[in-house]
Amino acid sequence: MIVLRSDDEIASIREAGSIVAQTIARLKECIRPGVQTKELDAIARQEILKRNGYPAFKGYKGFPANICTSINEVVVHGIPSGRKLREGDIISIDIGVKFREYFADAAFTAGVGRISKEAEKLMRVTEKALSIGIENALPGKRLSDVSAKIQEYVESNGFSVVRVFVGHGIGTKIHEEPEVPNFGRSGTGPRLESGMVLAIEPMVNAGTHEVEILEDGWTAVTKDRRLSAHFEHTIAVRKDGVEVLTV
């Protein structure tokens, strides 16, 4: 069932989203060669807790960390560790926050020092795909209109969208209905209504859209081991348009 949130509920999700945004801003300052991903995890936890939030991913279905840190060919769910960032890496960081009884979720990809032209383009296209998805999340449209526009833009730039991981509704749970794919045919799926709160998150690969899960049961990598990027915002569909809640 898709829940339509009240203005008061959206205000609470917005507060959770503000904690996410402030944590992301702090992490961006810390991304540089030599930093361990577990250091980024500790910084994120500190930033979230001092703002009276709670890291939503910690313990979720057994996930062992506060954030996901996915480097280069890792698509999503990379587990923070002693691995150090190196010049030329790209890293995708996914953060969820619970504030009171409500959740917000966002992700970004950043370069470490100087990165390749392909990596720059991949990041730029993925972030733009997110913007296009958000622009199309308007009341009266179909959910698949968002999905189709993301896929069309990504593939027109020579990249592929991941199929096995998708966006989602969000509110009193980190994952709620509906699923928000980054691919599909426009004009299908549920109609968007004011009060829907969605996490839109294109995951874009430089090569094949296929992924594999590593032995830890979490880390998802591109099947061809080429680069992947990930951007996400939590948004609310409003009567007069779209509101981004993780800014």
Output the pLDDT for position 25: 98
- Closest of 171, 166, 182, 164 to residue 125, by C-alpha: 182
DSSP string, 57-112: TTTGGG--SSSEEEETTEEE-PPP-SPBP-TT-EEEEEEEEEETTEEEEEEEEEE-
Q: How many residues make up the chain in this entry?
A: 247
Mean pLDDT by runs of 10 across the 247 residues of the chain is 97 98 98 98 98 98 98 98 98 98 98 98 99 98 98 98 98 98 96 98 98 98 98 98 98
- Closest of 124, 153, 139 to residue 238, by C-alpha: 139
Domain 7-244 CATH assignment equals 3.30.200.20 = no
Domain extent listing, the chain:
7-244
Output the pLDDT for position 41: 98
Output the pLDDT for position 220: 98
Output the pLDDT for position 231: 99
Output the pLDDT for position 19: 98
Output the pLDDT for position 158: 98
Q: Tokens in use for 134?
A: 């958000």
Output the pLDDT for position 122: 99
Output the pLDDT for position 20: 98
